[in-house]
Structure 1
């Protein structure tokens, strides 16, 4: 029996992403605060279709606005790790990165009763230390890399990437990588931003056109991996929460359901993938 799993994920950055970029003026802060309006609508939409999603939430968000996080925790959605300050791990020392993981997990445990099983790097940029530190602190899966589209794999530790020598792959770890793509992220499609360096991220794409892309990626998965596949979409509450985009999100859910998609949290999808891999290894060993 074929199974095509879809994970709807939400990076609930609130103010943390703006503050990490040095953007702290009142208007920018209010853009982040808009997610407080959106969260109850998202929880209601997911409940309407009996979908459990994964929210990657920085500790800064949890500790700043616990009332915005509680609705999806109480609704049974997965609360996963997204740093504490939304600083890029690649910009931190090993000690600073570990502090982010520990502090973020403390925030997650306070509000949900358990530490995170999954992690997503702010801006999807891991450091050379990330895999080791995530495993050290009990993280079972990561969702920051882009080495596949419809399948998980085990993340590597210790790659050597130098300009004048052939690339050397590091050792495979037991950390499950659940890959993502900028093309399946709402932020670059929709979010208009003027950055401190003077550059502009245009965003503001037509939601119907983006919907077509999102649906086609799922359809293609069913063609190239007819037996089993996992596809992850990434949304940000303050981005997807605008009216026409919420309507697009609901149409996406409807179309994927019509195509036979099974919706589940990232943690649940990880366990499905591991069980399937273990079964395949068992058959191969017989």
Structure 2
């Protein structure tokens, strides 16, 4: 079967492939914060707060050195508590997107509860940064039947939440509105899968708890190489508190250097990918092509 225009999409300036580096700056938000148990667990709180407090600055410095833009999906609670650090994201020319208020699982919330999270988040971004994001990544990796409508009501123009392709695609619009662009991620490009350490169970005999750094880097390179070969769009689900540590940031440096050496890659924020996809392909829905 001959390749179609959407099998090998067009990218700006004739670039062969697209790479949208993205981080979830979760901090200590999540289930333990939502149920209150984190306040009895200082070790877990500091593990999360390491992301915005310490790792974020290191990552921003590395990105500046390599002239690579990135998107940071930030729970609004993190912005409230580390406003200066989060402001540095925008000052560095990067993008900030929505990621819940305290990393809520949207699939467990009804329409009104999801609206409340988005409204509160928008107020926080407006108060501390004077802006409202246009992108969203769902916390906890899933959403409910009302989520797309809630996002559109909130002024969101794209999502990077689902897994339905290795190119952007369109999510259905309501009442003939402008469809959302989805920039799908992949678990293979989630640093939690290889590098996060969980003490449950605690130190099992003869079993490594963290993947080899060489293996992890090799996996990420291979994923990029395949995407680049086929002219696709690759994004990441990285977390500053996981991969922004001194030894691990070298993995990101090596990955970006590998991409630069390949050449012909469009390094972009998710926002710019979504805008490009909308401008180029909005008349045609890739899911129906």
Scaled by the length of structure 1, what TM-score is found? 0.85
Counting only pairs closer than 5 Å after superposition, residues 115-154 of structure 1 correspond to structure 2 as 115-149=132-166, 151-154=167-170
Give the C-alpha shift of residue 187 in structure 1. 1.2
Query: In the alignment, which residue of structure 2 is the partner of 1:206?
Result: 212
Superposition misfits of 4+ residues, deviation over 3 angstroms: 20-24, 278-281
Q: 1:250 aligns with which of 248, 253, 270?
A: 253
Give the C-alpha shift of residue 111 in structure 1. 2.6
Secondary structure of 1:145's aligned partner: coil
Q: Which runs of 5+ in 2 are unaligned?
A: 1-13
Q: 2:226 aligns with which of 194, 215, 220?
A: 220
Give the C-alpha shift of residue 279 in structure 1. 8.5
Secondary structure of 1:234's aligned partner: coil
Give the C-alpha shift of residue 176 in structure 1. 0.7
Query: Which has the higher mean CA deviation after the structures are superposed, 63-72 or 129-138?
Result: 63-72
Over aligned residue pairs, what C-alpha RMSD do you find?
Answer: 2.4
- What number of residue pairs does the alignment pair up? 262
State the alpha-carbon separation in 1 of the partners of residues 216 and 34 from structure 2. Answer: 28
Query: In the alignment, which residue of structure 2 is the partner of 1:264?
Result: 268
- Give yes or no for contact 1:141–1:270 (8 Å, CA) kept in 2: yes
Q: 2:42 aligns with which of 26, 35, 43?
A: 26
Counting only pairs closer than 5 Å after superposition, residues 181-192 of structure 1 correspond to structure 2 as 181-192=186-197
Q: 1:4 aligns with which of 9, 17, 23?
A: 17
Scaled by the length of structure 2, what TM-score is found? 0.84
- Give yes or no for contact 2:220–2:255 (8 Å, CA) kept in 1: yes
| Higher normalized strand content (fraction of residues) | 1
Counting only pairs closer than 5 Å after superposition, residues 1-286 of structure 1 correspond to structure 2 as 1-17=14-30, 18-20=32-34, 22-24=37-39, 25-35=41-51, 36-149=53-166, 151-156=167-172, 174-194=179-199, 203-225=209-231, 229-260=232-263, 261-277=265-281
Distance 1:105-1:114 versus aligned 2 partners, 3 A rule = same
State the alpha-carbon separation in 2 of the partners of residues 131 and 124 from structure 1. Answer: 14
State the alpha-carbon separation in 2 of the partners of residues 97 and 85 from structure 1. Answer: 12
Distance 1:74-1:142 versus aligned 2 partners, 3 A rule = same
- Give yes or no for contact 1:79–1:112 (8 Å, CA) kept in 2: no
- Give yes or no for contact 1:211–1:252 (8 Å, CA) kept in 2: yes
Deviation string, structure 1 residues 135-159 (Cα, Å, up to 9, x no partner): 011100011100012x11112479x
Give the C-alpha shift of residue 249 in structure 1. 0.5
Distance 1:111-1:215 versus aligned 2 partners, 3 A rule = same
Give the C-alpha shift of residue 210 in structure 1. 1.2
Query: In the alignment, which residue of structure 2 is the partner of 1:162?
Result: none
State the alpha-carbon separation in 1 of the partners of residues 209 and 126 from structure 2. Answer: 35
Query: Which has the higher mean CA deviation after the structures are superposed, 1-10 or 252-261?
Result: 1-10
Secondary structure of 1:14's aligned partner: coil
